[in-house]
Structure 1
Amino acid sequence: MSSRPAPSTASATQAAPPLALLLTIFLLTLLEFLQSGMIAFAAAPIMGEIGASPEEFSLTTVAYAAVAISTISKQRWFVERLGWRNFVLASLGLFIIGSAICATSDSYQAFMSGRVIMGLGGAAFMTTGRVLVNLIPPSPQRFTGIKYFATGLSAGIAFAPGLASLSVAHDTWNGIFVLLILVAALAAVFAILSLPTELVPGELRSQSHPVLFMSLASGSFLVLYAIQRSQYDFFTDATMLLTILGCGALAMFYFFRSIRTHGRPLLGLQSLKHPRYIFGVALFMLCYVLLGANNYILPVVFQRGMGVPWEVVGQLETLGLSSALLAWLLMMWALPKWPGPKKYLVAGFVSLAIFGIQLSRLTSNAHIWSDVLPALAFNGIFLMFVMATTAMHTFRDVQHHDTALSHAQQLKNMLAQFGTALGVASSTLMLQWRSTEHYTSLATRFENGNPIYTQTLHALSHALTLNGAGPHADTMALAQLAQMVTQQATFMACLDYFLLVATIGLLGAVIMALQRLMK
C-alpha cells in the first residue's frame, strides 16, 4: 500500500484563511464606516428627535472622537491582557450597549451617553480589522485579508448615506442603531469562531501610566473641542479658542514626549520613524479631512443650494459612492499585473480633481442624475484608489512585527479622528465666510432702483396675492426674495469649496507623480 506524502510547510502556509476570520475583518471595518457615515448623514433628523441643537449634537461628536482616541491608544494594551477574542467581544458588547441606548434615547443627555459608550467599544474596530489580517501566516493569502478589509471600507462609505436616508424616510431614525446592533452581533459570532485567546507574557506587555493616559485623554478632548467650537466662535472669540487649543496641544505633547523614553511604551513611536510610514499617514490625514468636509458640504449643496429632498440626497450619494466598490474590484484585478502604487495614487487625485471641477460648474437648475451623479462617482474612485493603495504600502516597513504594526495602526487611526473633525470644521468656516461674501455682493444689487429687483418683487407679490396672501403679500414677497438670495449665496459658496477641492486634486496628482516613497 502506497502512502500519501504529507503536505509540505510551504503548501500549508498557502492554505486559504478561515472564512470566519475574513468575515470578522470585513464586518469590523464595515461597522466603523457605517456608524460614522450614517450618523453624520442623519444628524439633522436625529437632532430633531432628541431635541438637540447643532452645537449640542456636534459636542456628542467631540465626545465620541475623544473617547475613541483614548481607547485606540490602549488597544494593544488590552489585547495583550485579554487576548484577541475577549477584546473583540468586549468591544462589540460595549458598542451594542451604546447603540441600544442611542436607539431608545429621547433626550440629548441619553444620546450623549450612548455615543460615549459606542466610542469605548467601537473606536478600535478599524485598527483591529487591519491588525487581524496579520493572523494569516505570511503568504500571498494575506492579501485575501486585505481584500476583505478594503471591501468593508468601501461598502461602509458607499452604503451609509442610503441606509440612513432609508431609515429616516420611514420614520424610524433609530433603525440606524438597530442595523448597527445586528451587524455587531453577527461580527461577534464570527469572532467567537475564529479569533485566538492567547495572552502576551507579562514581561513583554506594554505599560500605561495613569497620569500620561489622562494627559492624552484631556489633551485630545481639548483640541477636538476647540476645533468643534471654531464653527461657532472662530469669528467672535478666537482668543478663547487658541487658549483651549494650546492647552490641549501642550497636554498631548507631554504624553508623546514622555512615552519616547519608556521601555515598554503604550505606543512605540521609535519603531515608526520610517519615511514611507510618515508619508502614508499624511496621505491618510488628507483623505480623512476631505471625507469629513465632503460629508458636511454635499448635503448642504444638494438640500439648501439645490432644494433636493433629503431622502433623494441619500440615494444619490450611495449610488455615487458605490463607485468605490467598483474601483476596488478593478484594483483587485489590476494589482497582480501592475502592483506599483504610484499610478493608482495619481489616478485617485485626478479623480478628485474631476469631482471638484464638475461640481464647481454646477448651476442651481442642474440635473442631479446626469450632472451630479458622475461627479460623486469620481469621489468614490478617489477614496478607494488613494486610501486602499496607501493602506497596502504605508505599513510595509512595520508589518512583520505585530506590536509595531498595531502601534502604527493605532497612531494612524488616532490622527484620523482629528482629521475628520478638522475637515468638518474647516468646511463649515469656509462656507460661512464665502456665503457672507456672496450674500453681501448679491444683496447690494437688490435695491429699489434696480429694475430686476423691482420686477421680481412685483411678480412674487402678485403670485402670493393670487394665492390668498392679501395685504401681507408684499411682506411675504420680500421675505421669500431674501430667502432666495440666501440660498443662492450658499450655493455659490459651495461652488467655491469644490473649486478648492479641484485644486487640491491637481496638486496632489503632481506630487504623487513626483514622489519616490511609493512608486
Structure 2
Amino acid sequence: MFKLVFYLDFHFMPAPAAFGPSSLRPRLLALAAVTSVEFIENGMVMFSASQIMAGLQLSAADFAFAYTLYGMAAIFMLYKHQWMVERLGYARFVMLSLAVFGAGSLLCASASGLSLFAAGRLLQGLGGATFFTAGRLAINEMPAESRFAGLLVFIASLLGGSALAPLLSASLMALGGWRAIFAFGLPQVLIVAWLARGQLARTVTPPELRSEEHWGWLLWLCLGVFCLQYAIQSLSLAGSPLTRVLVTALVSIAMLSVFAWRQWRKDRPLINYRGLFQLRYLFGLAMYFFGYFLIGVAGLMLPILLHGVLGLSLLATALISSCGLAGTVAMALTHVALARRWPWHRCYMLGGLALYATGCLLLAMMELPRGWVELLPATLAIYLAIPWFLGPVAFGTFSGLEAKVFSHGYQVKNIVRQLGLSSSIALTTLLLHRLEHSPEPSGLLEMLAGVFVDQAAGTPMLQASQQVFGLTLLAILPVGLVVMLQRVFR
C-alpha cells in the first residue's frame, strides 16, 4: 500500500554512502528501482489477500501469522541494517537482500500450505527491509545540487509503486492466478540488480568505528516483537482468554524494554536510544505508527469492499484503487506547497484525520451500495487523507535530531512503520473474519452494530466491513484529541 514519507530532511549521515560516484541519471534510476521493490510487492499482497487465502486455503489466523512473521523479520533486519552496511557495504548488502527476497518470492509462489508460504514471507521480510532505508539514506549522500532530483525520484518511486501495485496484481492474477504475484518477484529482483549494478557504493566502515551487537540479543528482540503482535492479534480472536493476552503483552513489553536498556548502556550501540530520547521524535514515532496503521486498514479493507461486497471485477477494483492512490500525489504536492508558506502542522494533521474519519463514517453507515460510484466519495476521502496526516509528521519528527543519530532515528522510524503495518493487517484480517462469522455481537461490537449496521440489509461481509470502519472511526477520535491538544507539532 502507499507508505508515504514525502518530506525529507537532508542531514549528513555517518553511515557508508549508499550510492557510489556516477552520472546522475543512472544513479536516480537505481534509486527508484531499489526503493520500489517492497512497495510493489507488499501492495500486491495486500490487494490480493482474499485470493491468496482462498488459493492456499488459509484461515484468517494463518494469513495474520504469515504477515506477523514478515513484520518480525523486517524489524530484525532494520535493526541490523547499519551493522550489515558497515561490514558489507551497500553494493553487497543490497544484492544479498535482493537474492533473499527473490528466494522468498519463489517459496511463496510454490507454496501449497501455510508452512512454505510463511517461510517465504519471512525471507521476503528479511530481504525487503533493506530497500526503503537504503533509498532514503542514499539521498543524503548525493551532491547538494542533485538532492532535490533524488527527493522527487524517491517520492515518485513510493507513490508510483504503490499506485501500480493494484493494477499489476490484477493483471498478474488474470494471467497466472495468485501464484503469479509472487513469481513476479523473481524477474523483478533481476531487473533491479541489473539497474543498480555499478551504482551502489562498496565503502565499509573501519572496524574500530563499527556498531556492536550479539545475535542472541536480536533473537530476544524478535521474540519480544512476535509476542507483542500475537497479543494484539489475539484481542480479535473469539474465545481468547483476556488474562493470557494481557500477560503475553506485558512479557513482550518487558523483553523489549530489556533490549532497549541494554542498547542504552552500550558505547557503540546498534541503535543510539540516548540520542533519540527527545519528545518531538517520540511523539512523531507514535503518530507514524498510527498513520501506518490507518494505511494498513485502508489497503486491506477497500479492495475487499469493492471486490468482495460489490462484486466488481479485480481489474475494475484495481483501477479504482490505483486512481485513488494516484490522487495522493496531488494531495501530497498540495500539502508541500501550502506547508512551505503556512507551516501549520497541527492543522494539516487534524485535517487528514478528519478526512479519514469522514470516509470511515460514510462507509460505516452506508446501505447496500448499488454501484461503485456510491463508494467513491468515501474511498477518495480515505486515500487523500494520508498525505495530510503523515506529511506534517515527516516534517517534524526528525528536525531536532543531531546528524550523528539521524540514521538511527530513521531505522527506528522504519521499524515503527513495519510494526504499525503488520499489526494493522493482522488485526484487521482477524477482526473482519470474526465479525463476519460471529452470530451475535456483544459489548462494543453490539453497540457498533446498533449504530452503524442495518441488520436487515446487506451481506455478513458488508456488515462486518461497516463495523471495522466504525471501530477505526472510534480509534481516530482520541488520536485527534491528542493532536489538537499537543504543543509539539504546531
Q: Report the TM-score range of the alignment, normalised by the length of the smaller protein.
A: 0.7 to 0.9
Aligned partner (choices 338, 360, 365) of residue 356 of structure 1: 360
| Contact 1:27–1:183 (8 Å) recurs in 2 | no
Structure 2 CA distance for aligned equivalents of residues 44 and 251 of structure 1: 34
Q: Show the counterpart of 2:193.
A: 188
- Say whether 1:127 aligns with 2:133: yes
Aligned to 2:206: 201
CA distance in structure 1 between the partners assigned to 2:146 and 2:481 by the alignment: 34
Task: Tell me the equivalent position of 1:295.
Answer: 299
Pick closer, same or farther for the CA change 1:246–1:338 going to 2, 3 Å: closer
Higher RCO, 1 vs 2 (CA within 8 Å, ≥6 residues apart): 2
Pick closer, same or farther for the CA change 1:181–1:256 going to 2, 3 Å.
same
CA offsets 1:233-263 (integer angstroms, 9 cap, x no match): x534333333433333222221111111001
Q: 1:77 to 1:311 in 2, by over 3 A?
A: same
Instruction: Name the residue aligned to 1:99.
Output: 105
Aligned mate of 2:263, from 259, 265, 268: 259
Q: Give the equivalent residue in structure 2 for 1:4.
A: none
RMSD: 3.2
Aligned residue for 2:47? 41
CA contact (8 A) 1:20 1:193 kept: no
What is the identity, as a one-letter code, of the residue corresponding to 2:422?
A
Aligned-partner residue type, residue 225 of structure 1: Y
Following superposition, the deviation at residue 342 of structure 1 comes to 4.4
Deviation sequence 1:317-376 (CA, Å, 0-9, x none): 2222221122234345555555554454343223213322332342203431x2212322
Structure 2 residue runs without a partner (length 5+): 1-20, 443-454
* Structure 1 residue runs without a partner (length 5+): 1-14, 442-483
Q: CA deviation at 1:392?
A: 3.7
Say whether 1:406 aligns with 2:407: yes
Task: Decide whether the 8 Å contact of 1:228 with 1:425 is kept in 2.
Answer: yes
Letter of the 1:199 counterpart: V
Partner of 1:416: 417
- Measured against aligned partners, the alpha-carbon deviations of 1:389-423 in whole angstroms (never above 9, x if no partner) come to 4234322233633xx22211221222223222332
Q: 1:499 to 1:241 in 2, by over 3 A?
A: closer
Of 27-36 and 213-222, more deviation after overlay is shown by: 27-36
Query: Which of the residues 280, 284, 303 maps onto 2:284?
Result: 280
- Which residue pairs with 1:321 in the alignment? 325
Say whether the 8 Å CA contact 1:321–1:376 is kept in structure 2. no
Q: Does 1:495 align with 2:466?
A: yes
Partner-residue secondary structure (3-state), 1:393: helix
Show the counterpart of 1:155: 160
**Equivalent position SS for 2:140:** helix
Q: Counterparts of 1:79 and 1:48 in 2: how far apart (Å)?
A: 39
- Residue 20 of structure 1 corresponds to which residue in structure 2? 26
Deviation at 1:430, TM superposition (A): 5.4
The change in CA–CA distance for 1:212 and 1:196 in structure 2 (over 3 A counts) is same
More divergent stretch after superposition (33-42 vs 506-515): 506-515
Tell me how far apart the structure 2 counterparts of residues 288 and 73 of structure 1 sit (CA, whole Å): 19
Taking the aligned partners of 1:150 and 1:347, their CA distance within structure 2 comes to 22
Number of aligned pairs?
A: 458
Structure number, greater radius of gyration: 1
> What is the rounded CA distance, in whole Å, between the counterparts of 1:191 and 1:326 in structure 2?
29
Q: Percent identity?
A: 28
- Report the counterpart of residue 383 of structure 1 in structure 2: 386
Match of 1:394 in 2: 397
User: Given that residues 303 and 309 in structure 1 are in contact (C-alpha distance below 8 angstroms), is that contact kept between their aligned partners in structure 2?
Assistant: yes
CA distance in 1, matches of 2:60, 2:343: 45
State whether residues 96 and 181 of structure 1, in contact with CA within 8 Å, keep that contact through their aligned partners in structure 2.
yes
SS at match of 1:322: helix
The two structures have a TM-score, normalised by structure 1, of 0.78
* Equivalence for 2:180: 175
| Whole-angstrom CA distance in 1 between matches of 2:293 and 2:304 | 17
1:304 Cα deviation after fit:
4.6
| Distance apart, 1:435 and its partner CA | 5.8
The answer to whether residue 378 in structure 2 is matched with residue 372 in structure 1 is no
TM-score by length of 2: 0.83
1:123 alignment partner, SS class? helix
